[in-house]
Amino acid sequence: MSNLIPEEGFLRVRQIVGDRKANPPIPAIIPVSQSTWWAGVASGRFPQPIRLSRGVTVWRVEDIRSLLENPPTELESGPAKAQAAAREKHSGRYSNKRWESRAGRP
C-alpha cells in the first residue's frame, strides 16, 4: 500500500478512493466510494481537503497516512457491519401499522 502513496505532496480524491474506469485503473488507497468519502469529510471522520483552485481539491499525504495508521472504527469493522448498524438504527422508525399504510401509497 505504501508504494501507492508518494512520500510528500497532495492526493486527489480519485487517487484516494481509486478509479476502476481509468486507463490504467487507479487502485484504492482507502476502499470506500466517492460519496462515502465526501460524507466522511463532511462529518469529520476523514481529513479536511485543501482547495487549490475552483476545480482542484486535494488532501495532504501526511493526513492520509495518519488516517491509515489510525482508522476510524467504521473502516476497521468493515462496511457490512456499519450498514447493518444503520439498518438496525432505523428499523424501529415506524410501527408496522404505519409502515404498511405508507407502503400502499403511490
Distances, alpha carbon 82 to alpha carbons 11, 77, 87, 105, in Å: 26, 7, 9, 30
Blockwise average pLDDT, block size 10, the chain, 106 residues: 78 95 93 95 95 95 94 61 57 51 54
Cell 401499522 belongs to which residue? 97
Model pLDDT, residue 26: 93
List the domain boundaries for the chain: 1-71, 74-106
Beta carbons within 10 angstroms of residue 89's beta carbon: 9
Model pLDDT, residue 98: 52
pTM of the model: 0.65
Model pLDDT, residue 77: 47
